[in-house]
Structures are given as structure tokens and as C-alpha cells.
Structure 1
């Protein structure tokens, strides 16, 4: 775990930065629960849980607005530099990724309602369960990395997205083949495909959260660097220190 907090002369500034960080982690916790509950609601045909997932979107949006206001106020009032500035910019960008993860969870909840109303479990639930577990772990681990400022953990999460992408492509090929063999299943299976697409996007957003953490710690924008090369930025930063 790294320690990036600066001991400012103004205790109020310290408090503002810590409040910002805590609000970010709180929002992350809500989003993490949204994702897990959305997957559970679909797999267990639990319409009530799906509605709860959709309702949580209001909380996520409220926290998004609060954090945005806090970032703007600190930038205008404190004019931070160096690590403080990177922290605010990093959280400002990462919170957008969290909000998008929440949106994808809401989409899954809506799709689960459609699948529940169809009255049968279509092909693809095994794939949803497997990929769902992978991305749920990515969301949790990305937030844990942020809480501990653990760049190595962030890099591991970013690299895990490759496995999600491979599983997603394999699942899509299988489902397309199934639809060609049984055209009557097209409507049902398309809802499964859109669910898998949302899960794949959640993995992408989790990777982006980790990329913003690498920027916070190493001061390097790695958004366009392949995950396999992220370790090089960490090693270079260590050598510079």
C-alpha cells in the first residue's frame, strides 16, 4: 500500500481530499452491489431484486453529482498541484467509469425482466454466470486497489480484462451458431447477447478505473497502453524514484 496523502498546512484541505476519496469508495460500493445483484436477479429470475438494482441507479447518480461538485470546488479553491492534482483528476475520471458500470448493471436488470417474462431459461446462462463472476471480481478488485493505492493490483485487474474479452467472444460465437440452428430462439438469445455485452463493458470500465489509478500513482497516462505493458510503467516509475 502506498501513501500519497500530503500533510497540508490547512487541515480543511486534508479533510476535503479525504471526503472526496470516501465518497468515491462509497459510490464504488453501491455500484459493486448493483453488478452482483443484477447478475443474481437474472440467473435466479428474481424480478424484485432486479427492481432494486434499477432503484440504486438514483443513488449512483446522486453520488456522481456530489463528487463532481467536490472536484470542481477543490480545483477552484485550492489550486492543487502534483499528487493532489493527480488524485482529483484521477477520481474525476474514474467516477465516470463507475457511473457507466452502474448504467450497465441497470441494463442487465432490465434485460432480466424481459427474460423473466419470457418464462423460460434460454441458452447462455452458463456463460452469463461465468463471465459475471469474472467482471464482479474485477469491479471489487479495482475498488480494493484504489482503496489501498496498490498499483500492482490495478495492473492485475487490467490484465484480467483480456480473459473476459476472450470468454465473451467465445460465448457470442456459440450463441450465434445456436440461433442459426433454431431461428425460434432469436428473440430470447438476443437478450442474452445484450446481457453478455453489458458484462463485457463492465470489464472494460473496471480496467479503465485501474488505468486511472496507475496515472494517480505513477503520473503516466496509460489509457492507450496495452495491459501487458503496464508493468513497464510501474518499473520505470520505481527506477525514477
Structure 2
């Protein structure tokens, strides 16, 4: 019975990591598609969102089945609970990638602001790396590394505030910038929210390792 449980837990663990890496890649692709005005890639991301949702459903179903069948305790239970909690957050990050892609499809006007787009590109890379990093910390049971996500999220908060301020200034400077700057505000909000979601996952990684519930990102979820 123990051998079978270990095998199923390993499969669950692998499926969770695969979903996380897929979403990390998707958020990066969605930002790049926005910057490249690549509606074809954006549509691919929108079309693939359902596959991410199905992965979430499968992982949740498997997690509940394992809890009911094996009634795990202590560290085994914490690992399953961590996956059960974190997978829904990963799915919401996937939703943010989809929403950025939708913004790319709906973008209007030809006036763009290169300086702000560079800020968005740089911030998107940081956020995508955050998703990949928190998965690494999950794999290695690295509570200290997971806790460091709070500082990175703070950097993203500053970067997205910079995007917000620059977008508002661009609107004030030239009315023809309003449509593009509005898009920049939307994308900045999605990136900020994604970094907050990463800290949520990091909190569950710490729980998995230590059994303690912590708050890594108190009072910093607002963008606008």
C-alpha cells in the first residue's frame, strides 16, 4: 500500500510541476505577443487555456481521491494539500496569461510608447521567472527560497507602479497615447496580480516544508 501511495504521489507531483512550467512559459509568451502585436500567438494562448483548466481539474480530482483512499498524515498530507491549494493559483496565473492575450487581440490604435513597452517586457520576464523559481523551490522543499519571493514581488510592485505612472504621463502628454496607455495599465495590472499569486504559492511551499502558515505579501495586492 505504501509503495502504491508513493508512486501516485510522485505522479501527482510531476503533473503539478508540468502544469506550472507550462503556465510559466505561457505568461512569458503572452507578454511577448502583446509587445510584438502578434495576434496569431495571442489566439493560440486563448485557445490553449482550456487545456490548463483541464489539468487543474484532473489534479484536484486526483488529490481528493488520494486523501480519501490513503488518509495520509503529516508530511504526506501537507504535500497533497499544497498541490491542491497551489494548483488553483497556477490556473489563475494561466487566466492572466489568457487575459493578456485577449488584450492583444483587442488592442486598438497604432500609437505605441516604446519606453513603456520595454518596461512591460522586462517586468514580464521577471514575473515569468518568478513562476519558474517558485516551482524550483517546491521541488527542492526550499522554504527560505520560497520566502525570498516576497522581495521579488515587491520589485514587481515597484516596476508595475512605474508602468502605471508612465502610462498616465503618456496620456497627459498626448491624447493619441490614451488607447495604448490604457492597454499598458491593463497589462501592468495582470503582471502585478500574477506576482501576488506567486507569493501565494510560495506560502504553500513553506507550509509543505515547515507546517507553518505565513503571510508573504500583506497589503500589497492593489495596483490601481
Q: State the TM-score, normalizing by the size of structure 2.
A: 0.91
Q: 1:86: how far off?
A: 0.8
In the alignment, does 2:121 pair up with 1:118?
no
**C-alpha distance in structure 2 between counterparts of 1:112 and 1:121, whole Å:** 13
Alignment of 1:33 with 2:44, yes or no, is no
1:193-232 matched pairs, under 5 angstroms: 193-223=185-215
Q: 1:158 to 1:75 in 2, by over 3 A?
A: same
**CA distance in 1: counterparts of 2:99 and 2:217, whole angstroms:** 29
Counterpart check, 1:67 vs 2:59: yes
2:163 corresponds to = 171
Q: Is the 8 A contact 2:109 2:179 kept in 1?
A: no
Matches within 5 A, 1:58-97: 58-97=50-89
Alpha-carbon distance between aligned partners in 2 of 1:110 and 1:134, rounded to the nearest angstrom: 21
> Counterpart of 1:159?
151
Normalising by structure 1, we get a TM-score of 0.85
- The separation in 1 between residues aligned to 2:216 and 2:152, in whole angstroms, is 16
The unaligned stretches of length 5 or more in structure 1 are 1-8, 227-241
State the shift of 1:84 in Å: 0.9
Which residue of the partner structure matches residue 235 of structure 1? none
Q: Which residue of 2 is the match for residue 237 of structure 1? A: none
| Cα distance per residue 1:177-197 (max 9 Å; x no partner) | 221232332222111100110
Contact between 2:150 and 2:217, CA under 8 Å: does it hold in 1? no
Partners of 1:20 and 1:67 within 8 A in 2: yes
**1:202-232 deviation per Cα after TM superposition (whole angstroms, max 9, x unaligned):** 1111111111100100110013676xxxxxx
Identify unmatched segments of 5+ residues in structure 2: 219-224
Summarize deviations over 1:126-184 as a string: whole Å, max 9, x none.
Answer: 22112111101111111111122222221222321011001111221221122123233
CA contact (8 A) 2:199 2:217 kept: no
SS at match of 1:118: coil
DSSP-derived class of the 2:148 partner: helix
- On the 8 A contact 1:34/1:56 being kept in 2, the answer is no
Q: Is the 8 A contact 1:71 1:88 kept in 2?
A: yes
**1:120: how far off?**
4.1
Deviation at 1:111, TM superposition (A): 0.9
RMSD: 1.8
